[in-house]
Amino acid sequence: MAKISANATCGENGPEMYCKLVEHVPGQPVRNPQCRICNMHSDQPFERHPIEYAIDGTNRWWQSPSIKNGMDYHHVTIVLDLQQVFQIAYVILKAANSPRPGNWVLERSLDGVTFTPWQYYAITDTECITRYGIVPRTGPPSYIRDDEVICTSFYSKIHPLENGEIHTSLINGRPSAEDPSPTLLNFTSARYIRFQFQRIRTLNADLMTLAVNDPREIDPIVTRRYYYSIKDISVGGMCICYGHAKACPLHNETKKFSCECEDNTCGDSCDRCCPGYNQQPWMAGTFLTRHVCEKCNCHGKSEECYYNQTVADLKLSLNMKGTYEGGGVCIGCAYHTAGVNCETCANGYYRPAGVNPMELDPCMPCECNPIGSVHRVCVPDETQAEGGLSSGSCHCKEGYDGEKCDRCAFGYMGYPDCLRCKCSLEGSLNKDPCKLPCICKSNVEGDNCDRCKPGFHNLRGDDLHGCEKCFCSGVATDCADSQWAYRNVTSVSGWSLSGPDGEGNVWPVPSHDASQGLSVSHAEARGRLGVPYYWKAPHAFLGN
């Protein structure tokens, strides 16, 4: 139920007399001309005119103090609290036993603190400019923009002297009236409606008298007939359901209107997607497009999700159609599942190969051996299996092997300690590296076959001979493995050929069939340097 208040009402401070303007105008039929009493504390109901009468749907009316009480009573404010936010389509003001207000402002607010204007009303077009600083809109009100605030004198005429009406349309006549834009929805949203009356409409014959004289010196019969009276305020609107409801019934307990949300939307105003339906971001519906909230694909393991734009941009979320579109992220995945779509298993669990994520309880404990495994987390599913591991495989420490890391790896012995066997796996030929003696590959030596012979380097298990022969361009025969970093040097400048002792030089020439190539005559090099002869690198390639 709406609430209404006014900062001034006739008879609040005791009985006061008022006279109807219509009974004091020449040419008007006389209907029992008399002045009456307004008294808020009277036992007679017809003498009371509280603000509540303006919205009670009866012929009773609210009335302000007349300006006999002071010119301050040109300024009277009424605030209507609708108790919740609505999208307002129109406001109709009906006067009672006085003319319609002259200058006034119709305002809106969401919180009852900050008000913004909907429309200005002035006695003349000139006052639109001088009082409100707005170029008047002549004739019946019309609008260029969805949120345009106009000033009009159309409803501020002196006639009719009573029972006049003011119709303010807030939607019809605006550009997006047929399919309201976000701008129009915002412009018409309000919980509080304020009527700021600023000047009572008077007869032209009384203007000079009222303008130049102290009200106390004016005949009371003049000042008592100027006041505001409102017998009805009608507000047409609808619940703000953002296009996602067809009905908005009154709730019996809260006494508020609630949207009956559709399209998988929730909230008092259908202003968000329901839990579990956030695969796409919420959007307001329109007369033309519904914008249904889309269900998240949580493989039956969660009823809630939220939308994440980054997930959508990276195409990480699988929708119910099986395509990676949208940004739904499931919340609180059940049955030890995890992931954007509850598609994988939580740490410490795995989904065996061939088990569908849609199955009721797809994840099993990893059961990694605490002695041999790096941690208790195994490969959660087939999509994350790599490095020779499969779904459910644990990550083993060095020297341990098996799906659960519960035995020694090849080349290690003595579970649970799993010590390295004597014979090197890389340098020995032993089928069982734990069985002595160690039989070394041809380029390998040592009791455990764990080092290269002099003149060889780079011990590798996939090398049949174990180590590679050193290549030192004839300058040396021995070498050692290095952990140095390397970089590419590309240059054909400064290269030459030299003999075995490093003496003599034969300079090559650029090759005709390669942009970065050099060529030399074999006969010339052999004749001058003998054989073998070697390439001699420039300084840029030396130093390592």
* Residue 184 near residue 147, CB atoms below 8 Å: yes
Tens digits of residue pLDDT in 459-469: 999 999 999 99
Domain ranges of the chain: 3-239, 365-419, 421-483, 496-541
**pLDDT at residue number 513:** 65
Lowest mean pLDDT among 170-184, 277-291, 420-434, 513-527: 513-527
**Structure token pair of residue 263:** 């399209």
**pLDDT at residue number 497:** 83
Position of tokens 């300024």?
75
**pLDDT at residue number 492:** 74
Tens digits of residue pLDDT in 496-538: 888 877 777 777 877 766 566 788 888 888 878 888 888 888 8
If one looks up domain 365-419 in CATH, what number appears?
A: 2.10.25.10
Q: How far apart are CA 88 and CA 180, in angstroms?
A: 12
Mean of the pLDDT values across residues 196-221? 71
Residue 82, SS3 per DSSP: strand
Q: How far apart are CA 289 and CA 279, in angstroms?
A: 18
Mean of the pLDDT values across residues 366-391? 92
Q: Which fold has domain 421-483?
A: Tie2 ligand-binding domain fold (2.170.300)
Q: How far apart are CA 352 and CA 381, in angstroms?
A: 7
Confidence (pTM): 0.63
Helix or strand holding residue 529 (H, E):
helix 522-529
Lowest mean pLDDT among 72-76, 364-368, 532-536: 532-536
**Structure token pair of residue 293:** 């909230």
* Residue 21 near residue 95, CB atoms below 8 Å: no
Position of tokens 């997006």?
176
Tens digits of residue pLDDT in 91-134: 999 999 999 999 999 999 999 999 999 999 999 999 999 999 99
Helix or strand holding residue 182 (H, E):
helix 182-187
Cα(first)–Cα(last) distance of the chain, in Å? 91
Spatial CA neighbour of 347 closest among 366, 329, 361, 334: 366
**Structure token pair of residue 241:** 């359901």
Spatial CA neighbour of 192 closest among 138, 235, 128, 162: 235
**pLDDT at residue number 387:** 83
What is 3-239's CATH superfamily? Galactose-binding domain-like (2.60.120.260)
More confident position, 10 or 34: 10
Lowest mean pLDDT among 40-49, 307-316, 338-347, 378-387: 378-387
**What are the distances in angstroms from CA 127 to CA 98, 104, 211?**
21, 11, 16
Q: How far apart are CA 277 and CA 306, in angstroms?
A: 8
What is the Cβ-side half-sphere exposure of residue 426, based on CA atoms within 13 angstroms?
15
Tens digits of residue pLDDT in 420-455: 999 999 999 999 999 999 999 999 999 999 999 999
**pLDDT at residue number 167:** 96
